[in-house]
Amino acid sequence: MWIESSVKSWNKKWERALLLSRLSDEDLVCVAAAAGLTEYDELCKKARQGSVYLSDEARSRIIKDLMEIEDEKLVEAFRKTKPRLYPDLPFRGNYYTYLRDGDLQLKSSWSEVKRDVHELLEKGGERMYAFLKAVVELTEELLEKHGPRYCYIFGPDYGSIVRRMREILGRLETPLPRDFVLLKASGIYYKSGSRRYPSHSILLDTLPAVKEALEEWERSSRAFR
């Protein structure tokens, strides 16, 4: 798929694709229509009357079309349609920030993300570091195989995370219940998957900022004393 070619190269278009990947089928077609892509007007009308199902190919085509519009048109389209995101957490990227209610902003939130990660590391130490690093590494591997839409819904499973944590630390360590409370409050982590196949995820839009914060902590005198 065209979208996968940008996985290793973070840029504004890739980040816009991540943002659009978090929209429902109904919101995606209505954002496209509101942005002036008139070929999606009828589909948006159907979405407002009920529900719309898009194939992966159709979603990719709409996202590709939306990559070509100006930022100002996208901001206005979000303002008009007020789309909701999945998961129900803010989008905090380097080029786009979207909190809620149609307020798409052309600004970076990565400094706030890094701050949140450093706070987690201060409270959780090496164990938190290993958990976050494991989830980041495993998510990047999944992203190469499946693309962003899949990886917002499904993340690494617990067993894979613990095994990767052991590789990182050189010993067996597992997250504590308190760690998950802190992670959830941070706004970068959420439980993904299903009841039968639970998984753990870090928002794709925050990955580079999370990685940078982990690298800073690893280089600091607090790490691995």
- Structure confidence at residue 225 (pLDDT): 53
Give me the residue spans of the domains in the chain.
2-102, 111-218
Report the alpha-carbon distance of residue 190 to residue 154 in Å, rounded: 10
Report the alpha-carbon distance of residue 15 to residue 98 in Å, rounded: 12
DSSP 3-state of 82: coil
Q: Residue 5 — pLDDT band, cuts 50, 70, 90?
A: very low
Task: Decide: pTM greater than 0.85.
Answer: yes
Report the alpha-carbon distance of residue 199 to residue 222 in Å, rounded: 29
Beta bridge partners of 92: 97
- Structure confidence at residue 9 (pLDDT): 75
Whether residue 68 has pLDDT greater than 60: yes
Per-residue pLDDT of 79-138, as tens digits, reads: 999 999 999 999 999 999 999 899 999 999 999 999 999 999 999 999 999 999 999 999
Report the alpha-carbon distance of residue 221 to residue 225 in Å, rounded: 7
DSSP 3-state of 202: strand
Looking at CATH, the fold of the domain delimited by 111-218 is given as Arc Repressor Mutant, subunit A (1.10.10)
Answer yes or no: are the C-beta atoms of 188 and 202 closer than 8 Å. yes
